[in-house]
Amino acid sequence: MNLPNGQMQQIHNVLYVPGIKKNLISVSTITNQNLNVEFMQSKCFVKDIHNHYKVIATGTRIGGLYKLDVTRGTHQALTSTTMSTVELWHRRYGHLNQNDLVLLHKLMVEGLCVLKNEHIECEACALGKQHREEFPRHKEKKQREIIELIHTDVCGSMQTMSLGGARYFLIFVDDRSRFTWAYFIRKKSDVFEYFKEFKTIVEKQTTNASRF
């Protein structure tokens, strides 16, 4: 609480009552803070025991209660933001552009406030429309032939078996064309057999294609 002399006095271990409209402080709570309370007919005095019983607060009797003489601190807003009506509806409609917002007001949505076709500086839209630079193309990849370089990997074992009894899958990716082949296998030891099958099929396909 703020005292009239400008000092701040903290009261600890207080109870919060949502429905009460006044802050009530019991004498026992004050005395538990190493403070002394003296009551007169119309006034009361709160004194600091550790500071030669200096009066730190006073109270005025109103009816059967004593009201402490405290001041209320000024309330300040540390931050304040404003948002235009167009920007608000721009966000509500999933970042819809300004022209379509005006069209909604004119033709489609009843009761929508009048919107002006003004520029909206939306950070989310700006980030979403940013493009990424293309990955650099290496000359070595262009010079490679089909199936000259193959990337492969085995994934498994899977918790659930396939209808054919496989728990692994094997993939082959051609570095030049990025074409991908996938095989479902039952055991890891079958990888080499599937590779030989894959190599035979692809070599035949590329040989036949080069004849035409």
Distance CA 117, CA 94 (A): 17
In this prediction the pTM is: 0.33
CB 36 within 8 A of CB 47: yes
Report pLDDT for 212: 42
Three-state SS string across the chain, please? CECCCCCECCCCCCCCCCCCCCCCCCHHHHHCCCEEEEECCCEEEEEEHHHCCEEEEEEEEECCEEEECCECCCCCCCCCCCCCHHHHHHHHCCCCCHHHHHHHHHHHCCCCCCCCCCCCCCHHHHHHCCCCCCCCCCHHHHHCCCCCCEEEEEECCCCCCCCCCCCEEEEEEECCCCCEEEEEECCHHHHHHHHHHHHHHHHHHHHHHHHC
What is the distance of C-alpha 97 from the center of its chain?
Answer: 24
Report pLDDT for 184: 92
CB 193 within 8 A of CB 185: no
Task: Record the tokens describing residue 185, joined without a space.
Answer: 């296998």
Would you kindly state where each structural domain of the chain is located, as residue ranges?
Answer: 1-73, 85-118, 143-207
CB 105 within 8 A of CB 115: yes
Q: What is the mean pLDDT of each run of 10 residues along the chain (212 residues)?
A: 61 74 78 86 88 84 82 59 76 84 80 72 82 70 73 88 90 85 90 88 72 45
Report pLDDT for 140: 60
Report pLDDT for 76: 58
